[in-house]
Structure 1
Amino acid sequence: MKAFYSDHFVLPLPPGHRFPMIKYRMIREGAAGLQPAIDFQEAQAASDGELALAHHPDYIGRASRGELNAAEQREIGFPWSPQMVERSRRSSGATIAACRAAFVDGVAVNLAGGTHHAYADHGAGFCVFNDAAIAARLMQAERRAARVAIVDLDVHQGNGTASILARDDSVFTLSLHGENNYPFEKEQSDLDVALPDGIGDADYLAALQGAVTTLQQRFAPQLLIYLAGADPHEGDRLGKMKLSMAGLAARDETVFAYAREHKIPVAVTMAGGYGRDIEQTVAVHLQTIRLAGLHAARWSAR
């Protein structure tokens, strides 16, 4: 299984910043010891043309040149820097590469990505460019898939993704998220499943199974882009949910089993994770990567 990374590009964040930048290097280093073996590849940067599949050219230009004003930078949550732009471009490039690889291997992974709060004309919530929306439209432009589903299981609604793709019937946006969590003003996805604070494994998994059944009945995708957020975990500072490690493994396996049953390639992104213990957050992501590798092995053995 191929895994694409961009963690060499680190943002110069101020001391005490709550974004866990170090987790991406930790994920790559931890994944190196997983079985089945992983083929690590450094991601290439997405071009202006690729970004423009989901973003306004004016926003791309201003973000790239460092012309975002103070309010725009506060909404993103990062001070502008060349590293911010480069990392965001490469994170989008990694999801593009993972999608292409998934058509060959069944599944591939971006060891970052899942920047689902970025809108067409502005960033938000630690997200500059929307990698899933960009990659979905590029796979269509390259005629690899006509129907793409974005399955967003981060604890926060993918509001930027829903907004960008609101009038695009060829991309299905599915979001399971905390009803009382950020963003507090939600957008409308093709299927939103808003979940209460404190939800546990059994109720979450029942909701997810119903959601993927509805996805198949209504859409029958030819590619899945899966945002496998670690923030539904019970130890997350921002998540408000109570999923265990076993519950999150069952979540991932539900998505991979659905994909296997219907022979759908899957590109996985890491999305959010803000654990009180960063090693726990990394462990959740590594569990997803390990299960993705097992899914790839089953795919190749068909």
Structure 2
Amino acid sequence: MKAFVLPSYGSPLVLTDLDQPVPGDDEVLVRVRATSVQPYDWHFLRGEPYIARLMGGGPGLRLPRFRVLGADVAGHVEAVGKDVTEFRPGDEVYAMPKQGGFAEYVCVPESELAPKPKNVSFEEAAAVPMAACTALLALRDDGRVQPGDRVLVNGASGGVGTFAVQLARAFGAHVTGVCSARNVGLVRSLGADEVIDYTKEDFTRNGRRYELLLDIAGSRSGSACRRVLTRKATHVLVGGPPGRWFQPASHVFATLAAGSFVSQRMVVTQVVHCTETRRNLMTLTELIEGGEIHPVIDRIYPFADLPAAVGYQEEGHASGKVVISI
């Protein structure tokens, strides 16, 4: 099979012929029809921040721990292991395998696989898993969002943010999105009740208060963000400013540490450690098929141009998701 392989940190991805994987007893072999690119991928591609190389589950100290990146896939079932009961060859599926999506085939545990929403293409489905699962966990589980809550989404126009705005609205919240001027119309079209252009207004100094802050961009310090929170509000961290050595880890740790001394809850969403991926994907499938949310795609690249797609996503200006069609 064809796959893009990472030889070393910071080197270009190389299109290579690899052996087609064989599914284990509880695994499904998926013929990948589309995948997507996100910050999670280029953290592993660069091996940054460097402190992550010392952490368990990180990218690896000197050499990449994962040769084939790609955390989102949509395609059809090619083969199944002997213990798989829910899927058959030919089924259209999508998943969040965390690694291995930048290839024509990938093996996925049955427990992490879900039927693809019937009303979207493979490309649209590939835009969903990691970004939408992150937004779902951040709002429903970590943020404990309730109908009528005032929710602020900082970073509302990116992959996670576009799903977060829609999900918060679906949960009955009053949603305010923070984005750049060029994305104000997009965020409003997704259901945001209010939109703040961060180039014109500092959302931490406008005097408004929220029950939940979903902080994807990490563009303000934890102390500044607390100014927009009600006394019993929740501050959910999803990301932070990029850096070579410590960021965004230092931003997250500093904000969480302050949580011990304030009345608000401070929590970080960790979608890669979630054990309910299939259940979450099924929830998202229901919402997509019900018309309550839909994926926003900035660009679709052919498989041969995957390195260019990674470069574009790393620039940080994509509105919604960057998708690869295979």
Superposition TM-score, scaled by structure 1 size = 0.42
